[in-house]
Amino acid sequence: RRVLFRSIKSKYKQREDHKNNYATTKKEITSKEKQLKSLNKKINSKGIFSKKEKQEKQIAQYNETINQIQELYKKLDEEEIYQKIIRT
C-alpha cells in the first residue's frame, strides 16, 4: 500500500511537467501513422518493375516506423496516467 501511495504521490508532483505531453504524443502518433500508410503504398504499388534494393530499404524504413509507433503508444499510456492526475 505504501509503495503504491508513494508512487501516486510522486506522479502527482510531476503533473505540471507532463501537462501537454499527451496531446503532443497523440500528434506524433498520427504523423507516424500517416508516414506508415505512405510507405505501405510505395512498397505495394511498385509491382514487378521495382528495384529490389530500393524495396528492401523501404521495408526496413517501414519496420522502423512500426517500432517508433509502438514506442509512442507506450509513451502515450504513461502520459495517460498523468492526464488523469491533472484532471483531478
pLDDT digits (tens, 9 = 90+) for 16-74: 777 788 889 999 999 999 999 998 888 887 666 667 777 888 889 999 999 999 999 99
What sign results for the dihedral spanned by CA atoms 64, 65, 67, 71?
Answer: positive
pTM score: 0.72
Instruction: Please say whether the beta carbons of 86 and 15 come within 8 A.
Output: yes
Virtual torsion, Cα 53, 55, 58, 63, nearest 10 deg: -100
Closest CA to 13 of 74, 82, 78, 77: 82
Is the model's pLDDT at 86 over the cut of 70? no
Q: Which residue has the higher pLDDT, 48 or 7?
A: 7
